[in-house]
Structure formats: structure tokens, C-alpha cells
Amino acid sequence: MTDMEIQKKALYTMVIMNAAITNLCLYPPSSAMIANPVDRLYQTLQEVLDKEESLVFAESEKNLLICGDLLSRKDQEKPQVMAFIKILLDFEIKSVTFERGLGKADLMTFLQMLSKKPEDVEKEGGLQKVWEADGLPHILLDQKVYIAKDKDHALLASLDIKDEEIIKYITGAGAISDIDSQKVKEMAKNPEWISRIFQSGMKNITRQEGTISNIELSERVVHMIRSLNNIADNVNKDGIFRQVATSIADMDIEVISMLLTQNMEGLLSDEIFDHIVNQIDDEKFEDLATKIKHLKDMAIATDTAHNTSEIELINKADKNLMSSDKGKRLVGEIEEKRAREKEEMEREFEHLKDKANRIIEGDEKIFLDEKVMQSLDGVIEQLFSKDQNETVEAIIDRLGDELLSENPGVRGQVSEALSNIIESQSDEKRTDMVGRLSDKLCSWIRLETLITPAYEQICVQLQNLVHTLIRSHQFAESGPILEVFNLIDSGELKKDEAIQSISSSVLREIVTEELLNILLKEFLSNEQNKQKEAGFNLANIGATPVNRLLDILRESKSSSERVLILQIVSEIGHASLPALIDEIEEGGDWYYIRNLSLLLGRIGSEADVEVLRPLLTHENYLVQQEALKSINRIGGEHKGGILLSALPVSDDRLKIDIVNMLGSLKYRDAVSPLLGLLKSKSFISSKSRTELEEKICVALGRIGAPEAIKTLESIAKQKSLFSIKSYHERVEIAAGRALVMIKKRGKETEKI
């Protein structure tokens, strides 16, 4: 299998594993709620282990590695990955290895262990002791990774670790699950090796300028410095950090300012700081000092840190710069530069206010101005920095209105501007902004027909908002967002295939086990009096909840709970069909199959009617009856034939229902079989037989069958044509009425 295939399978196993561990906290091990996910998990693991010797999950610095490969940032941020990392951290597990030969019983033991509270496991002697006691030969904990140096000077280990992976590790772009740090420190005594690692690390970081944020670049540099500080021999540190200082001095002003205002305690000595300053020419120094003074002004004015630590770090950087020899010499030039920039900023602010007012007033020309729209994220940032929050809100609201413009050019420019603005915000502000705009964004998604990067990004932003809303039980707010994506995914809201695919992807990403558990809990318990809202969410997240709902339906002993589930699966609609059909064909207790039959009659179509045919001969009459109703509801032009084919093999109770339906359908092909049944006296007369005969007469009358007149007349006049016992009086009356109906229809036909 390729690395990508292994990661994809591993991520899927994580989803199922999280569900199984969660369910073990809620249900007994014998429950279907446990057995089903364990079976799926075991099957998926076997698919991987059939092709690979082992599957390794490892945690390092709150990142997840799969078989030694670090997941992408996007995958790391997925809720199921974060949930799995939390489990590993709670139990202080560095790595879990599943090996070929794994048995299902061992897998269940492993899951039960992780479903316990860590403190309870600690009381039993700790995880390692419990693990050894249970004896799980094919599930291994915390396998060591040993580092050695081969003849080609590459770093090798049990996971085949190379220099490149060490570089990723020290820069924070990657991680290794477990390193023998002592061996690495031994290797770090070689100045040639550590110099090569540092230089490669810096190249790795600087190559990413422009592709990741400056703050992230600076964080990676600091991470590398700390890593090198931890492994480097004291003899080599001065030389290493001089290299560090030279490399930092060559970086962009933005990155250097971010670095110098981070906590570098114990890393950058005064000597190293001076070395950085000395490597920078006067012009760059002036720009750097001005930038840090600007950061200082902004931090004090807006209190962005919400505590004093950030301001203290900025103050310290400013003080160190200005107290250096170069700072003292250039203080005049720096002050002049600051004054010029302040003047320029004031002019820019007036220009900003003009732009803001034109946007708020709805000037269409400005929405079509590509340059203005592309600069709006910067405008918003500056307005926030000047405490112009109300102006920002007014701009955002106006942009939201213009998303629904009839002019596609306006919609395109505005959607891109909004996407960039939202993406540039902090997590908290981003959530507030998307929440404020969610109604307008959903209306725009209903309207828009073009896929752009902004369209995809806004869909992801709404997806993330739904995660937040459901976690905070704001189901009324998340429901409308889910609804619009579900309408597109289901095809009810017509869009092209590409847009439909995006909506499908959004729903898949939203429906994690964690969120599904939250919704199901409230829907079934109504603890917060939000049952209706939780149900609406469940009805609009596609097919994912269906198997869980059917599992609960199968096991439920509460009629009110069963009614709720029938209601919600009906509302999910056609997306439920594959699961329903699979369950009907698999079979089960009569009351479960009866409910499945009812559901199929509600949401199925003519194409699904054959699934119901075998149920007409089910051993339980109530199942037969429900299947008959569903066939009548969805059978279309085929239902008459299906009902007629079931007539000879059905008992009298079902025959009565079938005859009734055939009459209502006016199904002409039923006349001859109905007459044959009416003439037949092969069994003793009974109450049900009388009712059946009565219904046959009524059906023949409804069909308007002239060929039935002779038989019906003989019954109405009580003539015994076939030397059989006379019919009941009720049957006589029904036959007479049927004759009237047939003859009346005959006269009407003649007139035509």
C-alpha cells in the first residue's frame, strides 16, 4: 500500500476506534452498539495488515504520526485525530503498534482498556502492568526508536529515519514518536554533523517564506533553536548559535521582529543578540526598530495579549535594540522614520475611512474594484487595531448583503474579499464573524453556481462553525447551515456535480463521532429541551447517522424512543435507503423488520418494492400487513401484480387486505383469480371467510367486471350453481351492490 493509502485507512480506523471506545463507556460489551463498530474496526485493520506487517500510531508534541509519517496540518486538526491524540495523552501512550496476527478478542480487550478512566487504570497498577497481565502479543505499546549513524552519515532507526526526518523534527514541521536522546546527544558532539543539520533546517524553514505565516516561520526557528540547545554539546554551542544569529539576520524584517518578540529565555544571550544586530545593515536595523516600536504601540493600544507577558516581550526587544551601540547611534533616524510613518498612517486612515464609508453606503463601483476588494483584509485589520469595531461590523454586514447581488461580478469579488477577511482573523473572531454572516452565507451558497477558491474556503469556514455550534449545543443555529449542504448533497437543490461533491465533503467532515454522539444524546433524552433542533440537525447530515439510529431501533425497549427514530430516519429520506434495504435483507426480530418495512414504505420508491415482496409471506402477520401497506404506497404500476401473486399463498387475514387493495386499484387482471376464490369452498365457513367473500364482491364491483355478473347474480339470489352451501347474508348484500355498480358502469360506457 502507498503511504497515502495507509494514512487514509488509518484515519478511517481512528473514526471507528473512537466510536467503539465511546460506546464502551455507554453500553454493555454484548450490545450491538459495541459489536458493530468492533467488527468494522477489525475488518479495516485486517485490510491494512494483509498488506503491511504493522500499523503504527504515534504521538509526538501533540501531533500524530502514522507509520512514522506526520499527518498534514489539515488532518492534524480533524476532530477525530484530536480525539485520538487526547486518548494517547490521557494514558501517556507514545505509540501503539498493531501487528499481523491480531485477533478480535485482543482488539476488544484493548478497546475496553482505553474506555476506562486513566485514574482507574492507575489504581490497577498502571497501563503497562494491566497490558502485560492481559497479554496482547499483537498490540504493542511504546516501541523505542533507536538512532544510529550509518556509513553514509544518514540517521537510521527502526522506522528508517533519515536526516530529512530529523530536520523536520528539530524545525517542528515533523516529529518522531520516540528518540533515544542520549544517542542523539552523542552524535551532536560531531560539529560537522550538527552544522549540516542546522544549515539544512534553516534552508527548510526559509524555503517556506510566503507559504506559511511569519509567526509560524518564527515559531519553527525558535523550535529548532530549542531542539539544538537541548542536544548540542556545550563546547559547540557558541559556534552553533553564531550560525543561528547570522541566519536570523538574513531573514525578512517581519520574521525577525516576530522572533525577537518571542520568549527566547536561555537561548539568545546578549552576545548572540549583539551578533544579530551587528549582521544587520543600518537601513534594515531602522526598519526593524520601527517595526518593533509599532508592535509595541499596537499591543498597548489594543491589549491584544489580554495579559502583560506579550507586551513585556515586545518592550524587552525594543529596549535591547535601542540600548545597543547601533540603536544609540541611529536613534535620531529611527525617530524621524517613526514620525514619517505616523503621518503616513494618519493619511492612510483617512483613506481607509473613505473606503469604509463607500462600502457601507453600497457603492457598486467599489465592489467591482479588484484592488480595493483584495486589500480589504488589511483594511479590516487596521480598523480593528484602531478600535473601529462598529465600522468593521457595518462593512461585514454590507459585504454579506452584496453576496446576494444580481451582478455575478460583485458576488465574485465580495465572496473572495470576505473569505480573505475571515481567514485572516483569530479563531475567536473568525467564529464570531462567520456566525454573524451565516444566514447570508447560506443564502449565497443556495444561489451561487460557480466554484471559486473563495466558495470552497467559505464552505470550510461554515463547516468549522458547525463544529463549534454543535459542541456548544447551539443546534438551532447549526441546523440551517446543515440544511443547505444537505439539500445540495441530496440533489433536492439542483447544482452541478462539482458543487454537489463539495457539499458531500463538508457533511462528511462535519459528522464526527463526537458530534454525532452530542446530537443523538439530546435527540433521545431531550435533556436541554432541544430535542426538535437536535433532530433537525440529524435529519440534515446525510446517511452517516442511519446505522447508529437503526442499531438503537433494533435494541430499543421504549415505544416513544422507537417513534422518534422512525420519525428522524423518515426525515433523512432517500439517504437512508441502502442501510434500510441491507437490514431488511439481513433479517431480525419481527418487530424490527416491521418498523423497517414501515420506513421503506415512507421513503422508498417503485425501485425498492421487490425488497418488500418476501415479507408478504413472513411468519408474523403484523410484518405481512406492514409490507402490504408499504407495497401499496410505493409499488407504482407493479403493485397490482405483486399483490395478485401473493394472494394464493396468503392466509385469510392478509387475503382480505389484498382483495381490498386490488379493488381500490381497479386491477382488471384480478377479476379471474377473485372469481375463482369466491367460488372456492375448499374449507369450512368462518367469520373471516365471510368477510373475505364480502370484500371480493366489493372489489369486483369497484373493478366493474361484466364477467362477474353471472356469479354475483347467483349469490345475490342464493342459487347454488355448484351444489355448495349458500353464502352468508352479508355476502348476498355485497353481491347485489356490486351488480348495481357493474351495470351502472356498463351504461355509462355505452353512452360514451
Dump pLDDT digits (tens) for 377-389: 777 877 777 778 8
pLDDT for res 550: 92
List, for residues 34-61, the tens digit of each pLDDT value.
777 788 788 888 888 888 888 888 887 7
Is 509 domain-assigned? no
The grid coordinates of residue 306 equal 489580554
Is 386 domain-assigned? yes
Question: Which of 9, 18, 59, 10 minimizes the C-alpha distance to 37?
Answer: 18
Determine phi and psi for 95, rounding to 5 degrees. Answer: -155, 150
In degrees to the nearest 10, what's the CA dihedral of 594, 600, 602, 603? 160
- What single DSSP character describes residue 72? P
Confidence band, pLDDT 50/70/90 cuts, at residue 156: very low
Could you tell me if 243 and 348 lie in one domain? no
Is 348 domain-assigned? yes
pLDDT for res 681: 63
Could you tell me if 343 and 300 lie in one domain? no
Confidence band, pLDDT 50/70/90 cuts, at residue 177: very low
How many angstroms separate the Cα of 749 from the Cα of each of 355, 671, 701, 706? 79, 19, 15, 12
**Least confident span in 348-357, 428-437, 600-609:** 348-357
Distance CA 574, CA 599 (A): 10
Is 451 domain-assigned? no
Q: What does 308-369 look like in DSSP terms, one character per residue?
A: HHHHHHHHHHHHHHHHSHHHHHTHHHHHHHHHHHHHHHHHHHHHHHHHHHHHHHT-HHHHT-
Ranges 99-103, 521-525, 722-726, most confident: 521-525
Determine phi and psi for 447, rounding to 5 degrees. Answer: -85, -40
Distance CA 656, CA 647 (A): 9
pLDDT for res 148: 30
Could you tell me if 104 and 25 lie in one domain? yes
Could you tell me if 295 and 416 lie in one domain? no
Q: Domain total for the chain?
A: 4
Are 599 and 563 in contact by the 8 Å Cβ rule? The answer is no
- What single DSSP character describes residue 283? H
Could you tell me if 28 and 73 lie in one domain? yes
pLDDT for res 321: 84
Distance CA 312, CA 296 (A): 9
List, for residues 178-206, the tens digit of each pLDDT value.
445 565 666 666 666 666 676 677 666 66
pLDDT for res 189: 67
Distance CA 245, CA 198 (A): 12
| Average pLDDT score over residue span 651-655 | 84
Task: Encode 78-98: b = buried (16+ Cβ within 10 Å), e = exposed.
Answer: bbbbebbbebbeebebbbbbb
The grid coordinates of residue 661 equal 387493495
How many angstroms separate the Cα of 220 from the Cα of each of 72, 201, 214? 16, 10, 10
Q: 612: exposed, middle or buried (C-beta count within 10 Å: 0-12, 13-18, 19+)?
A: buried
Mean pLDDT of the chain, nearest integer: 80
Confidence band, pLDDT 50/70/90 cuts, at residue 553: very high
Q: For residue 312, which amino acid is it?
A: E
pLDDT for res 442: 94
Q: At what angle do helices 590-603 and 577-586 cross, to 10 degrees?
A: 150
Whether the predicted pLDDT of 523 surpasses 80: yes
pLDDT for res 173: 56
pLDDT for res 345: 64
Ranges 103-112, 121-130, 250-259, most confident: 103-112
Could you tell me if 212 and 246 lie in one domain? yes
Q: What does 517-535 look like in DSSP terms, one character per residue?
A: HHHHHHHHH-TTS-HHHHH
Q: Which residue has the cell 473569505?
A: 419
- What single DSSP character describes residue 614? G
Distance CA 296, CA 611 (A): 72
Question: Which of 72, 81, 64, 223 minimizes the C-alpha distance to 512?
Answer: 81
Is 751 domain-assigned? yes
Could you tell me if 130 and 254 lie in one domain? no
First to last CA, the chain: 74
The grid coordinates of residue 199 equal 544549515
- Give the SS3 label for residue 552: helix
Distance CA 562, CA 550 (A): 10
Ranges 373-387, 578-592, 642-656, most confident: 578-592
pLDDT for res 130: 66
pLDDT for res 472: 93
Distance CA 119, CA 563 (A): 40
Could you tell me if 86 and 191 lie in one domain? no
Are 262 and 222 in contact by the 8 Å Cβ rule? The answer is yes
| Average pLDDT score over residue span 517-533 | 92
Confidence band, pLDDT 50/70/90 cuts, at residue 210: low
Distance CA 68, CA 56 (A): 7
* Dihedral angle sign, alpha carbons of residues 714, 716, 719, 725: positive
Q: How many CB atoms lie within 10 A of CB 156?
A: 15
| Average pLDDT score over residue span 491-516 | 89
Determine phi and psi for 207, rounding to 5 degrees. Answer: -60, -25
The proportion of the chain whose per-residue pLDDT surpasses 90, expressed as a percent, equals 21
Whether the predicted pLDDT of 543 surpasses 70: yes
The grid coordinates of residue 587 equal 433479517
| Average pLDDT score over residue span 165-188 | 57
Q: How many CB atoms lie within 10 A of CB 507?
A: 23
Distance CA 101, CA 733 (A): 75
pLDDT for res 484: 95
Could you tell me if 16 and 136 lie in one domain? yes
The grid coordinates of residue 619 equal 411468519
How many angstroms separate the Cα of 586 from the Cα of each of 168, 272, 556, 583, 596? 50, 73, 18, 5, 11
Whether the predicted pLDDT of 710 surpasses 60: yes
| Average pLDDT score over residue span 502-530 | 91
| Average pLDDT score over residue span 242-252 | 75
pLDDT for res 33: 65
**Least confident span in 610-619, 636-645, 738-747:** 738-747
Whether the predicted pLDDT of 477 surpasses 60: yes
Identify the CATH number of the domain in which residue 703 sits.
Answer: 1.25.10.10
Give every CB contact of residue 646 below 8 A, 6+ residues apart in sequence: 613, 616, 617, 628, 654, 658
- Domain range for residue 396? 330-424
| Average pLDDT score over residue span 566-577 | 91
Is 280 domain-assigned? yes
Q: Which of 275, 307, 339 marks a domain boundary?
A: 307
Whether the predicted pLDDT of 306 surpasses 70: no
Q: Which of 407, 424, 441 marks a domain boundary?
A: 424
pLDDT for res 233: 65
Whether the predicted pLDDT of 165 surpasses 60: no
Task: Encode 668-704: b = buried (16+ Cβ within 10 Å), e = exposed.
Answer: eebbebbbebbeeeeeeeeeebbbbbbbbbbbbbbbb
pLDDT for res 324: 84
* Dihedral angle sign, alpha carbons of residues 30, 36, 37, 38: positive
List, for residues 478-493, the tens digit of each pLDDT value.
999 999 999 999 889 9
Are 477 and 438 in contact by the 8 Å Cβ rule? The answer is yes
Confidence band, pLDDT 50/70/90 cuts, at residue 155: very low
User: Between 195 and 641, where is the model more confident?
Assistant: 641
Q: Within its chain, how far is the Cα of 605 from the centroid? A: 29
User: Between 215 and 64, where is the model more confident?
Assistant: 64
User: Between 471 and 116, where is the model more confident?
Assistant: 471
User: Between 231 and 373, where is the model more confident?
Assistant: 373
Whether the predicted pLDDT of 230 surpasses 80: no
Q: Which of 424, 456, 477 marks a domain boundary?
A: 424
| Average pLDDT score over residue span 597-605 | 93
pLDDT for res 520: 92
Could you tell me if 287 and 340 lie in one domain? no
Is 467 domain-assigned? no
Is 215 domain-assigned? yes
| Average pLDDT score over residue span 353-358 | 78
Are 186 and 234 in contact by the 8 Å Cβ rule? The answer is no
The grid coordinates of residue 370 equal 479588484
pLDDT for res 534: 94
Distance CA 431, CA 468 (A): 8
Determine phi and psi for 741, rounding to 5 degrees. Answer: -65, -40
